[in-house]
Amino acid sequence: MITVWGGQTSRSIRVVWVLEEMGLPYRVRQVDMLAPEQDPEFLAINPADYIPAIQDGDVAMVESIAIMEYLMGRYGPTPLAPAPADPTFPAYQQFLHLGEAGLATLMMPVVVSRFIAPEAERDNWGATWCLKAFQKRLKLVSQRLAHSPYLAGEAFTAADISVTYALNLGQRTCGLTLGEVEQAYLA
């Protein structure tokens, strides 16, 4: 059975969502990232001490997008991942990775600044820049959704799981207001 290390509102949601869509058995081990000490079992899987992480037999992995790709490759094929020859594959790849590298990663300085930093340091230049950059990159999502119901085209894929997490993170944790197109997409 696959073990997912993570939290209820963390990037591990992406991994669990893929597991659910594929009907694969798994269990979740909660990780409190603010705990003074971590579970030694978790640190054995990911000594860098961040989530998500998985253990699948002898395979241990971190990074939500890499884990998603591993699961779909190892246990697929799945409609969540178009084949490389499929005309939707380039858009799928772009938005699968944009969800983390281009969107969600920008939210980390905002989350850390707003919730962990000392009060006097919460409204800082770096967090403000990240919010503006997120809004610019969100235009890629908006533009794509203006022409298709999903990010890779007519079918729901892992790219939608990736970007949905980022949009929810921005809206829920960072106070971003999404436009009508993005809100309809999330619904």
Q: How many residues does the chain have?
A: 187
Tell me if 110 is assigned to some domain: yes
| Domain identity same for 67 and 94 | no
| Domain identity same for 70 and 93 | no
| Domain identity same for 59 and 94 | no
> Residue 12 and residue 70: Cα distance in Å, rounded?
14
Cα angle for residues 98, 103, 104 (degrees, 5° grid): 110
Show the domain range for 168. 89-186
Q: Which strands make up the sheet holding 59-62, listed edge to edge?
A: 26-30, 2-6, 53-56, 59-62
> Residue 68 and residue 58: Cα distance in Å, rounded?
17
Q: Print pLDDT tens along the chain (187 aa).
A: 999 999 877 999 999 999 999 999 999 999 998 888 999 999 999 999 999 999 999 999 999 999 999 999 999 999 999 999 999 999 999 999 999 999 999 999 999 998 888 989 888 999 999 999 999 999 999 999 999 999 999 999 999 999 999 999 999 988 899 999 999 999 9
| DSSP tally for the chain: helices H, then strands E | 8, 4
Tell me if 162 is assigned to some domain: yes
SS3 state of residue 56: strand
Tell me if 82 is assigned to some domain: no
> Residue 141 and residue 133: Cα distance in Å, rounded?
13
Tell me if 83 is assigned to some domain: no
| Domain identity same for 94 and 136 | yes
Q: How many domains does the chain have?
A: 2
- Choose one of 45, 75, 105: the last residue of a domain: 75
Residue 22 belongs to a domain with what CATH number?
A: 3.40.30.10
Q: What is the pTM of this model?
A: 0.94
Tell me if 84 is assigned to some domain: no
Residue in 8, 185, 173 with CA at minimum distance from that of residue 104: 173
* pLDDT for position 33: 86
Before 52, cis peptide (omega within 30)? yes
> Residue 182 and residue 171: Cα distance in Å, rounded?
11
